[in-house]
Structure 1
């Protein structure tokens, strides 16, 4: 049985200052619990599309529904993980305090905050680092804190804008593996933006390939039925890689 649709986009377009369209006629459906990749070159509008789903940017025309409701502003059902964790974390708060920040704003009782933050700090592999400040953490650890804070607020949807783009190659691979594990444990819907084909294939159940802008659209959607964990040395992995690479040659 097909999972219920959680995001429905039809004829979605965006222009700034009445000039050319950045995005034009985007059509996309994403199912609940799905790991979906938006893949495309820099400047194609994939981050703009993610920001529209988040409710940060208004559409110009078309329909954008989350759980059958038109997106008009940010909502608690959508959590955003940015590329630069430094910009997202509060430097004067510890790891635990950062993770609990949203819960505190919602006036969650202290005992519940402690249980929730402890669970998600352990889930992202930061047990033992609860009392450290962001300045004491590596880039990968900061991203783990950002992810734990978003998860602690229990959104239905994770919107991830090239979250591992600033990390070194080894840390990036570790975080990709960890993200798949966390996604499986939490059953969140994930929309992940990247320009890296390998990363897209390591993570995504489906990959939406975006055309070069302006007036960018989703050219093709690939179903990726490969089992997790995935390896870029796998024959089928490389077949998908070559097919997707052909869009950018």
Structure 2
């Protein structure tokens, strides 16, 4: 097993009465909130799923946690410090890897990009990039350009680059949504393996109930927007790896599906 020791210890994320509107307030009218009155604590090292239909504000909540956008009301804090801007302890993994990779750089050069910005010496960059390229299963592909890789391999590069910078928290916005079913299942298994080896906090956005149950320790179900809220929290007390034919998994699928059928 590859020895990967995270340098940072994950702290809990506390969210209290969080609201977000993208519109200026109108006199005597309730603001048009995308999300409203979100209350949630995500534990350090937890694999947490944000589950809900398209347009319910999942990505908005993720971007608030990332610090990419500011809140309208309420509180969102990492440990005891309020989140007001992006920070190196939080890193986003996007659905489209092509948008985040530099096409003129090799796999290794992409993974080392952030390390180079930190002015790490070449030998140290090489050691770190080799470790994470191997961790995500891309050993032997370090000198390839993104155009030579499949969609799943590009997502592995994006993940390796994020991990190489050693964030405590991975924010993942439907990262496997653009992949075919077989590649998606492979990447789900790989992500669980990597999470268990690195003990990062993972906050993962999806609208796929099966994916939520296969991956998460807890699932937060969001209501249809606007003014979306987290209406239910489900613990998923199942061992990994999980099997969709397991009666316990099927029971959870039915329970969570009921939220969207009501």
Same fold per superposition (TM over 0.5) = yes
Does the residue aligned with 2:166 lie in a helix, a strand or coil?
coil
1:5 CA drift (Å): 5.0
Aligned pairs, how many? 247
Deviations 1:120-171 (A, max 9, x none): 0000000000000001100000000000000000000000000000000000
Distance 2:98 2:10 in 1: 35
Matches within 5 A, 1:17-28: 17-18=23-24, 19-28=31-40
Does the residue aligned with 1:190 lie in a helix, a strand or coil?
strand
Distance 2:119 2:203 in 1: 28
- Pair 1:10-2:16 in alignment: yes
Q: Which residue pairs with 1:240 in the alignment?
A: 252
Is the 8 Å Cα contact of residues 66 and 171 (structure 2) preserved in structure 1? yes
TM-score w.r.t. the length of structure 2 is 0.93
Distance 2:143 2:81 in 1: 40
Deviations 1:182-204 (A, max 9, x none): 00000000000000000000000
Match 2:141 to one of 111, 126, 129: 129
Is the 8 Å Cα contact of residues 10 and 168 (structure 2) preserved in structure 1? no
Deviations 1:110-129 (A, max 9, x none): 11111100000000000000
Unmatched runs of 5 consecutive residues or more in structure 2: 1-8, 25-30
1:67 CA drift (Å): 2.2
TM-score w.r.t. the length of structure 1 is 0.98
Matches within 5 A, 1:93-112: 93-112=105-124
Unmatched runs of 5 consecutive residues or more in structure 1: none
Is the 8 Å Cα contact of residues 5 and 29 (structure 1) preserved in structure 2? no
Cα gap change, 1:36 to 1:96, in 2 (>3 Å): same
Deviating more after overlay: 193-202 vs 105-114: 105-114
After TM superposition, which residue ranges in structure 1, 4 or more long, deviate above 6 angstroms?
Answer: none
CA RMSD between the two structures? 1.1
